[in-house]
Amino acid sequence: MKRGNDIFYTNWGRIRAILGLRWGHIVFLLFAGLSLVGCDLIKMKANNAAGDAGREPAARANDSYLYKDELVGIIAPGTPAEDSTKLVEAYINSWIRKQLLIQEASRKIDINEAQVERKILDYRYSIIAYEYQTYYIKQHLDTAVSMEEIEKYYKANIDNFILKQNIVQGTFIKIPKNAPRTEKIKELIFSKQEKDENELKSYCLSFAVAYHISGSNWVVYDELVKNSPLAEIPNKIPFLKSNPYHETSDENFLYYLRVVQYRISDNISPLEFVKDDIRNIILNKRKVQLAKELEDEVYRYAMDQNEFEIYN
């Protein structure tokens, strides 16, 4: 089966086998890809109303027509009538604007139609390929990432994990001045007994405007103390180094800060602070690898079956 320029196409049965798809899935994904193209690409050639007898126009821009049957699929099932009307009106208005701009461009500049058609074809192919790759990745992606993998990646790329902000492990509480029993807050903050920690959490739930109870989680210092006088301290690094505990107030609130650990910007980030980012990096690498494996396997099979040729 010789293809010439249409090297993109491969054996549909092989694709189905690789993807684990039924024909219904293939038809659906192909239709979805083409629908996306249809929503965004503008027809470069004018439609003549007389040449489309029986079709009811929805809009006209000079000699170009948008027909009502071309609006099918724009609105998702279950969309309220009022929202549907607004979406259709917005689509039609966008279509008119694009048509007028294209027509103006055609009058003012020379357009390489062949180049435009090639770009449209490339776009169409990209959408179809993306639909298949996305489905394949969802079916085959291993989302389990062990702590061992995360640690390995962290150590191998440690220079990529330089802190851009100061981070801390600690407790921060913002309490209205008229809250009860404020004199006991410091004692509860420093207590290592579980009952006192639970009492502090209960107290904060009842009275605190904002709070973060010390734990193993690292947080950005500026985020922790935002909307407090502590955020306005000009020299934060000396402050963190010399103030493991600090109390302050303003007109309406009392503020309590206990810093258990801190890391200064421009230093290596602790693993716990970046482990979620590393997990996402690893998963993204797996996705890229799966997409590449799919493309290579389809290509190799087509080559073995002599399903395409490149003509000199």
- Residue (of 83, 75, 78, 70) closest to 37 by Cα position: 70
Residue 153 domain-assigned?
no
For residue 275, give every residue at least 6 positions away whose Cβ sits within 8 Å of its Cβ, in sequence order, or none: 147, 150, 154
Specify whether 175 is located in the same domain as 207: yes
Mean pLDDT of the chain: 85
With a pLDDT cut of 70, the percent of the chain lying above it is 83
Q: Are 253 and 103 in contact, with CB atoms under 8 Å apart? A: no
In one letter, which amino acid is 262? Y
Residue 271 domain-assigned?
no
Domain that residue 200 falls in: 163-263
Chain mean position to CA 235? 35
- pLDDT value at residue 276: 95
Specify whether 257 is located in the same domain as 226: yes
Residue 277 domain-assigned?
no
Task: Dig out the tokens for 266 from the structure.
Answer: 């421009």
CA–CA dist 299, 293 (Å, integer): 10
Specify whether 139 is located in the same domain as 37: yes
* Residue 85 φ/ψ, nearest 5 degrees: -60, -45
35: pLDDT strictly greater than 80: no
- pLDDT value at residue 113: 86
Question: What confidence tens digit (pLDDT) does each residue in 148-157 have?
Answer: 999 999 999 9
Beta-ladder partners of 254 = 175, 249
Q: Exposed, middle or buried: residue 96 (CB in 10 Å: 0-12, 13-18, 19+)?
A: middle
CA–CA dist 21, 15 (Å, integer): 8
Q: Which residue has 């966008």 as its token pair?
A: 94
Specify whether 180 is located in the same domain as 101: no
Specify whether 85 is located in the same domain as 171: no
Q: How far is CA 146 from CA 79, 139, 142, 150, 217, in A?
A: 42, 20, 11, 7, 19
Tell me the pLDDT band of 41, cut-offs 50, 70 and 90: very low
In one letter, which amino acid is 222? D
CA–CA dist 14, 300 (Å, integer): 11
Specify whether 193 is located in the same domain as 104: no
5: pLDDT strictly greater than 50: no
Residue 273 domain-assigned?
no
Q: How far is CA 58 from CA 66, 92, 167, 251, in A?
A: 6, 8, 58, 63
267: pLDDT strictly greater than 60: yes
Specify whether 172 is located in the same domain as 250: yes
Task: Dig out the tokens for 156 from the structure.
Answer: 């191998």
Residue 281 domain-assigned?
no
Question: What confidence tens digit (pLDDT) does each residue in 96-124 have?
Answer: 999 999 999 989 998 888 998 999 999 99
Cβ neighbours of 188 (radius 10 Å): 22
Q: Are 48 and 56 in contact, with CB atoms under 8 Å apart? A: no
Specify whether 87 is located in the same domain as 177: no
Question: What confidence tens digit (pLDDT) does each residue in 190-222 have?
Answer: 999 999 999 999 999 999 999 999 878 999 999
Residue 240 domain-assigned?
yes
What is this structure's pTM?
Answer: 0.64
Residue 202 domain-assigned?
yes
| Beta strand 167-176 pairing with 210-212 | antiparallel
Specify whether 125 is located in the same domain as 168: no
Residue 274 domain-assigned?
no
Tell me the pLDDT band of 62, cut-offs 50, 70 and 90: very high
Task: Dig out the tokens for 273 from the structure.
Answer: 């602070």
Specify whether 19 is located in the same domain as 125: yes
CA–CA dist 203, 191 (Å, integer): 14
Q: Which of 15-29, 124-138, 290-304 has the lowest mean pLDDT?
A: 15-29
Beta-ladder partners of 248 = 255
Q: How many domains would you assign to the chain?
A: 2
Specify whether 21 is located in the same domain as 135: yes
Specify whether 130 is located in the same domain as 20: yes
Query: Where residue 201 sits, what CATH number does that domain have?
Result: 3.10.50
